[in-house]
C-alpha cells in the first residue's frame, strides 16, 4: 500500500470519463479508505472513499446529519446561507428521534408491496411516453421524451401534485440542484417551490384527496409548514434521481451493446441490471455529509467530535475490496449492496419506487426501439458535472 496523500484533499467532482467516478477519488481509494479533506469553508474534516468505511459511518448514530453541524464539501449557495437551520419537514436533515417521527409517517406509503401495486400504472405511463416518442420527428431528446416524464408523472400522481404545473416545479427543482446556481437563484427557486406546495397543502386540507399529501393532511400529525417541507423533499427527490438514472443508464447501455442486448432480450436480467446500473453509474455526484458528535475511531484514525465527513459514493461503489472487477458494467452481477441509495436511517425512502420505475422503463424502451442509437457522437453528450445529481443534460437519440 502506498502512503496516503500528505496534504488534505478537496472534494472530487471532475469525472474524466462519463460513466466513471472522478479519477482522483479512485486513486485516493487505492491509498486508503479515509483521507483528510478541506471543506469549502476551510474546515479540516474527512473524505471516505472505501465501501466498508462509508457503510460504517452512515450507519453510526454518533454521526449527525443536522444542517447546522455539517460543513459544505464544495462551495454551494445552499450551504452558505447565514441561517442554516433545518426547515420544518426536511427530515433528511434531522437525526433520531425527530427524523423517526417523519419516517414513520411515510414508510408505509413506500413499501415493496405498495410499489409493486403501482406496476400497471407505471407500465401504462411508460408505454404512453413511448407512443409519443414514436410519433415524434427524429432525433428526440430522451431526457425530455422519456427519462423525465415517467418519474415526474409517477411522483405527481403518488403525491397528488397536478402534473400540469410541472414546468414551474421542474425548473425550480433543477435550479436547486445546480451547483452553479447563485445564492439568489437558489433562494428564489426554494421560495417558489415552497409557496407552490404550501398552496397545494392548504387545498388538500380543504378538500380531502386520495393521494399521499391528501392522506398526510387528513392524518393531522403534521402542521402546514411541516407538510410543505415533506412535499418539497419528496417532489424534488422523485424527479432528479430516477430521471437521471434512466437517461444516463440508457447512454451507458448504448455504449455497451452486449449489455444492452441482455437487458432487452432477457426479462430475468432486469432486476440485476437496475442494481448494477445504480452501482456502476452512482449518480449521487455530491454525496452525503455527516458530523461526528463525539470522538470516533475508524480505520485506525481518530475522527474528532465536530469534524465533518464527506463521502465519494461513486468511489465506494467501485471499491475492489467489495466488488470483483468493479470497473466493468455487468448487468448479470448479483445485486450486492451498492451505496447509491445511501445506508443507515436515511437510506432512500423512495428506493423501491425507483426500482420499479427502472425495471419497467429500460426494457420497455429497448424493446420498442431495438435500433435505438445516439444521434450525436458520444463525446458531444452534455454531462451534468455541475449538478448534485449526475447525469446528462440531453441525450439525442434516433432509431
Q: Which residues bind other proteins (CB under 8 A)?
A: 58-59, 100, 103-104, 106-113, 337, 341-345, 347-349, 351-352, 355
What are 28's three cell numbers?
485516493
- Smallest gap from Cβ 110 to other proteins, in A, equals 7
Residue closer to other proteins (CB basis): 94 or 175: 94
User: Which secondary structure element, helix H or strand E, spans residue 48, and what is its range?
Assistant: strand 44-48
Residue closer to other proteins (CB basis): 5 or 344: 344
- C-alpha–C-alpha distance, residues 280 and 256, integer Å: 13
- C-alpha–C-alpha distance, residues 339 and 330, integer Å: 17
Nearest to 63 by CA among 338, 341, 289, 300: 289
- Smallest gap from Cβ 379 to other proteins, in A, equals 37
Buried b (16+ CB within 10 A) or exposed e, 45-78: bbbbbbbebbbbbbeeeebbbbbebbbbbbebbb
- Are the CB atoms for 179 and 386 separated by under 8 Å? yes
State residue 209 phi and psi, 5-degree precision: -130, 150
- Smallest gap from Cβ 348 to other proteins, in A, equals 8
- Smallest gap from Cβ 126 to other proteins, in A, equals 21
Residue closer to other proteins (CB basis): 19 or 63: 63
- C-alpha–C-alpha distance, residues 69 and 71, integer Å: 7
- Smallest gap from Cβ 374 to other proteins, in A, equals 33
Residue closer to other proteins (CB basis): 345 or 375: 345
Residue closer to other proteins (CB basis): 55 or 285: 55
- Smallest gap from Cβ 313 to other proteins, in A, equals 14
Residue closer to other proteins (CB basis): 111 or 138: 111
Cα-based angle 367, 371, 373 (whole degrees, multiple of 5): 115
- Smallest gap from Cβ 142 to other proteins, in A, equals 28
Q: Which residue has the cell 467501485?
A: 318
Residue closer to other proteins (CB basis): 238 or 342: 342
Nearest to 13 by CA among 282, 270, 255: 282
- Smallest gap from Cβ 277 to other proteins, in A, equals 16
Residue closer to other proteins (CB basis): 100 or 182: 100
User: Which secondary structure element, helix H or strand E, spans residue 301, and what is its range?
Assistant: strand 301-303
Residue closer to other proteins (CB basis): 337 or 396: 337
- Are the CB atoms for 24 and 49 separated by under 8 Å? no
Rg (CA), the chain: 21
State residue 392 phi and psi, 5-degree precision: -115, 145
First to last CA, the chain: 48
Secondary structure class of 239 (helix, strand, coil): helix
- Smallest gap from Cβ 154 to other proteins, in A, equals 17
Amino acid at each position: 500500500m502506498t502512503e496516503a496523500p500528505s496534504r488534505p484533499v478537496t472534494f472530487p467532482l471532475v469525472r474524466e470519463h462519463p460513466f466513471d467516478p472522478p479519477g482522483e477519488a479512485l486513486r485516493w481509494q487505492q491509498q486508503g479508505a479515509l483521507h483528510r479533506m478541506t471543506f469549502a469553508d476551510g474546515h479540516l474534516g474527512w473524505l471516505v472513499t472505501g465501501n466498508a468505511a462509508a457503510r460504517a459511518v452512515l450507519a453510526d448514530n454518533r454521526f449527525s446529519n443536522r444542517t447546522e453541524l455539517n460543513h459544505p464539501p464544495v462551495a454551494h449557495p445552499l450551504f452558505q446561507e447565514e441561517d442554516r437551520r433545518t426547515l420544518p419537514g426536511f427530515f433528511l436533515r434531522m437525526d433520531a428521534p425527530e427524523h423517526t417521527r417523519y419516517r414513520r409517517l411515510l414508510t408505509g406509503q413506500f413499501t415493496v408491496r405498495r410499489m409493486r401495486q403501482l406496476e400497471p400504472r407505471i407500465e401504462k405511463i411508460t408505454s404512453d411516453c413511448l407512443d409519443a416518442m414514436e410519433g415524434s420527428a427524429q432525433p428526440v431528446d430522451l431526457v425530455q421524451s422519456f427519462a423525465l416524464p415517467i418519474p415526474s408523472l409517477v411522483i405527481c400522481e403518488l403525491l397528488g401534485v397536478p402534473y400540469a404545473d410541472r414546468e414551474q416545479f421542474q425548473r425550480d427543482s433543477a435550479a436547486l440542484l445546480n451547483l452553479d446556481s447563485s445564492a439568489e437563484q437558489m433562494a428564489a427557486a426554494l421560495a417558489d417551490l415552497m409557496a407552490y406546495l404550501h398552496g397545494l397543502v392548504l387545498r388538500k386540507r380543504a378538500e380531502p384527496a386520495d393521494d399521499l399529501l391528501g392522506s398526510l393532511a387528513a392524518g393531522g400529525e403534521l402542521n402546514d409548514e411541516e407538510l410543505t417541507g415533506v412535499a418539497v423533499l419528496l417532489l424534488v427527490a422523485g424527479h432528479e434521481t430516477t430521471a437521471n438514472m434512466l437517461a444516463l443508464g440508457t447512454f451507458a447501455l448504448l455504449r455497451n451493446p452486449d449489455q444492452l442486448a441482455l437487458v432487452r432480450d432477457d426479462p430475468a436480467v432486469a432486476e440485476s441490471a437496475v442494481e448494477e446500473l445504480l452501482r456502476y453509474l452512482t449518480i449521487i455526484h455530491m454525496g452525503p455529509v455527516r458530523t461526528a458528535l463525539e470522538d470516533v475511531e475508524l480505520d485506525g484514525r481518530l475522527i474528532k467530535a465536530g469534524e465533518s465527513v464527506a463521502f465519494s459514493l461513486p468511489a465506494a461503489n467501485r471499491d475492489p475490496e467489495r466488488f470483483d472487477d468493479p470497473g466493468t458494467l455487468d448487468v448479470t452481477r448479483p445485486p450486492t449492496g451498492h451505496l447509491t441509495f445511501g445506508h443507515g436511517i436515511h437510506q432512500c425512502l423512495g428506493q423501491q419506487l425507483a426500482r420499479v420505475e427502472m425495471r419497467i422503463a429500460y426494457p420497455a424502451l429497448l424493446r420498442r426501439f431495438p435500433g435505438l442509437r445516439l444521434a450525436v457522437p458520444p463525446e458531444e453528450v452534455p454531462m451534468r458535472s455541475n449538478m448534485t445529481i449526475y447525469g446528462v443534460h440531453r441525450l439525442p437519440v434516433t432509431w
